[in-house]
């Protein structure tokens, strides 16, 4: 029986779908929107973990005393040849209010002259939790891959069509939702979060 509820401090519907898939068997998962929390969050941290904490702290006052767990995900793609860019700015790489396609085109252009062998990248996900007793926790999952020369695959979201996972040789977007969720940066961070929650 699911006895605990997790409220997700995200406005990203794609992330929410993946997190529900990963956690939904054990927890009741609701997005902040689904429980009526409408708060502007300014992500001005300098690391994935700092930004995840900023997000989760923003919703904590709304669920205080309710025995629910607050969770946030800050994630992005850190490309070796671009000194870690887009990194924590992954969502707005091509500017404010851009599409995933805009970001992918900017990344392809930035990588146009980078030869094979120097196209390594890490997909990173930091999860932050605030527990009902107010304690905070963060954990990080990382997956290594390379940046493709062109888009491939139709599943997933964001940079998935450009990120070729080292361990599978396929882009996240080619792998399909189930296979991506089995090995992704997000699922690795979630596994750490689950292990922490299991100790409580
Ligand atoms: P919230 O802050 O509301 O959660 P966001 O999309 O702004 O949503 P981030 O600041 O963490 O979230 O930015 C994450 C960006 O990194 C996301 O918009 C995608 O462009 C990219 N990203 C993260 N995880 C990804 C994944 O699994 N597949 C593809 N792209 C991903």
Domains of the chain: 4-198 (3.90.950.10)
Task: Provide the 3-class DSSP secondary structure of residue 143.
Answer: strand
Ligand 1 site: residues with CB under 6 angstroms?
10-12, 15, 43, 55, 73-76, 90-91, 103, 156-160, 172, 184, 186
109 Cα–ligand 1 center, Å? 20
Whether 116 is catalytic: no
Torsion, CA 173, CA 122, CA 98, CA 58, rounded to 10: 110
Task: Tell which residue, 176, 174, 117, has the closest CA to residue 147.
Answer: 117
If you search the block for the tokens 């708060």, which residue do you land on?
39
Rounded CA separation 168/179 (Å):
10
76 Cα–ligand 1 center, Å? 6
CA distances from residue 174 to 38, 40, 89, 125, 178 in whole angstroms, order as listed: 34, 34, 24, 20, 11
| The pTM of the whole model exceeds 0.95 | yes
CB 172 within 8 A of CB 160: yes
74 Cα–ligand 1 center, Å? 7
User: Quick one: which atom of ligand 1 is closest to the CA of 100?
Assistant: 20
pLDDT in tens, the chain (200 residues): 678 999 999 999 999 999 999 999 999 999 999 999 999 999 999 999 999 999 999 999 999 999 999 999 999 999 999 999 999 999 999 999 999 999 999 999 999 999 999 999 999 999 999 999 999 999 999 999 999 999 999 999 999 999 999 999 999 999 999 999 999 999 999 999 999 999 98
């Amino acid at each position: 029986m699911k006895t605990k509820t997790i409220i997700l401090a995200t406005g990203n519907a794609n992330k929410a779908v993946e997190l529900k898939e990963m956690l939904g068997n054990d927890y009741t998962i609701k997005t902040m929107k689904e429980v009526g929390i409408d708060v502007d969050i300014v992500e001005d941290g300098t690391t994935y973990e700092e930004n995840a904490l900023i997000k989760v702290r923003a919703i904590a006052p709304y669920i205080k005393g309710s025995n629910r767990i607050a969770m946030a995900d800050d994630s992005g793609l850190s490309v070796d040849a671009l000194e870690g860019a887009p990194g924590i700015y992954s969502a707005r790489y091509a500017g404010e209010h851009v599409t995933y396609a805009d970001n992918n085109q900017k990344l392809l252009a930035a990588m146009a002259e980078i030869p094979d062998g120097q196209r390594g990248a890490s997909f990173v996900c930091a999860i932050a939790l605030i527990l009902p007793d107010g304690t905070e926790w963060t954990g990080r999952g990382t997956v290594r891959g390379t940046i493709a020369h062109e888009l491939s695959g139709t599943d997933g979201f964001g940079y998935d069509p450009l990120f070729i996972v080292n361990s599978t040789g396929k882009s996240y977007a080619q792998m399909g939702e189930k296979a991506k969720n089995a090995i992704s940066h997000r699922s690795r961070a979630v596994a750490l979060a689950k292990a922490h929650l299991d100790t409580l």
